[in-house]
Amino acid sequence: MMGPKAIIHLDRLRDNIRAIRQRVGKTPLMGVVKANAYGHGAVAVTRALQDVGISFFAVFTIEEARELRAANIQDPILVFSHSQPENFQEAVESNIHLNLCAPDDLPKIQSFCASYGASPVFHLKLDTGMTRLGLSFEEAVDVLRQSKTIPGLRIDGCYSHYSTADEGDLHYAHEQHRRFEEFLARADSMGIRFAYTHFSNSGAVLNLPESYYNLVRVGMLMYGAFPSDEVPTDIPIQPVMEFRGPIVSVRRVSAGTPVSYGGVYVTKQETTIGVIQTGFADGFPRPWYEQGHVMYKGQPYRIAGRVCMDQFMVDFGDTRPLPGEEVLLFGEGADGRLTVDEIAKKTGMTTYMLLTAIGGRTRREFADGN
């Protein structure tokens, strides 16, 4: 079958976990496998993470948690989205941990506990400054106070999320951390200790060791890319996804030939134009055409003209690739290395956008280094 291919190097994923562990020490990691494991394939990635001893996972939706359960993955899974009462029973029965992040969650939880006789495990989410999901300090204190009157209620976790942990200026992140600490101290004074306290993301793994607590949430770093271009990069991670596209047509054109929509790319001399069967409908980043290149046999070749929905063109100069051969779109493999970090920097996109976009007709193949 022709079309884009994402080779997922599970051996590199496991090596990345080893590198992250070198950094965070013995604190357990929570593998963030939402959005189909950032485009890498949630089930295969989760299993590979289990192989290296990760036993707590996070997704965004209950459907993503179900996908892992259907694949017989039994470890606890935290669902980051705002929890819904219709999922409470399933959460209890399937060991799915839920997010307690709004004051009006509590009456719904209370009535469920009273009628069902058991509580899902909740992680209380404190908004320390992201202004997304989460309770304010006062709301969270109030929830803790009321929670003492709800028999069986399980608030086993407490967490928050950084908005600037991957920036050069960590001033605001330190303020968020201070607010979280203040809340933990208040909870402590109420006699409440949480089994799971977690705050880190990839940026915090690199920048804020004080926020490791007893569980470290990690996504982007384990996939082998950096959360931004402002973080220290002194951690030996490797790109897990090798994104490749097939050359489906090759032809010589004369100087002055316009290529693709709008004719914005015009050949300067006689050259070889190859058509790659991968387009923005497969997640290939359209803005990359302005400065972008692909790798073929260790050499970079410019993208020629606008990326189309299903294909784009490459200017191979005097190189004569053969139809049926492939180019490296990003990642690392026999054709060389081109990181999503570089593409993100040059397109004004982020590594998160680039990786999670990969889909469409992309075929995933899992490689294990053997």
The binding site for ligand PLP (CB under 6 A) comprises 32, 80, 161, 201-203, 217-220, 227
Please give the residue whose beta carbon sits closest to ligand PLP in the complex: 219
Q: Return d(Cα 219, Cα 343) in angstroms, integer.
A: 19
- Give me the sign of the Cα torsion angle 17, 22, 23, 24: positive
To ligand PLP, the closest distance from the beta carbon of 227 in angstroms equals 5
Asked if residue 215 lies in contact with residue 198, where contact means CB atoms within 8 angstroms, the answer is yes
To ligand PLP, the closest distance from the beta carbon of 179 in angstroms equals 16
Q: Which residues form the catalytic set? A: 34, 261
Nearer to ligand PLP, 80 or 330 (CB): 80
323 strand-pairing partners? 325
Q: Which residues contact 171 (CB under 8 A, 6 or more apart)?
A: none
Nearer to ligand PLP, 202 or 311 (CB): 202
Q: Return d(Cα 15, Cα 291) in angstroms, integer.
A: 31
Nearer to ligand PLP, 224 or 305 (CB): 224
312-317 and 299-304 beta bridge pairing: antiparallel
SS (H, E, C) 255-291: CCCEECHHHCEECCCCEEEEEECCCHHHCCCHHHHHC
To ligand PLP, the closest distance from the beta carbon of 198 in angstroms equals 8
Closest listed residue to residue 25, CA positions, set 214, 194, 262, 297: 214
Closest listed residue to residue 354, CA positions, set 368, 336, 340: 340
| H or E, element range at 243 | strand 241-253
To ligand PLP, the closest distance from the beta carbon of 261 in angstroms equals 33
Nearer to ligand PLP, 166 or 335 (CB): 166
Nearer to ligand PLP, 60 or 336 (CB): 60
To ligand PLP, the closest distance from the beta carbon of 254 in angstroms equals 47
Closest listed residue to residue 162, CA positions, set 84, 216, 123: 216
Nearer to ligand PLP, 80 or 316 (CB): 80
To ligand PLP, the closest distance from the beta carbon of 278 in angstroms equals 25
Amino acid (one-letter) located at 63? E
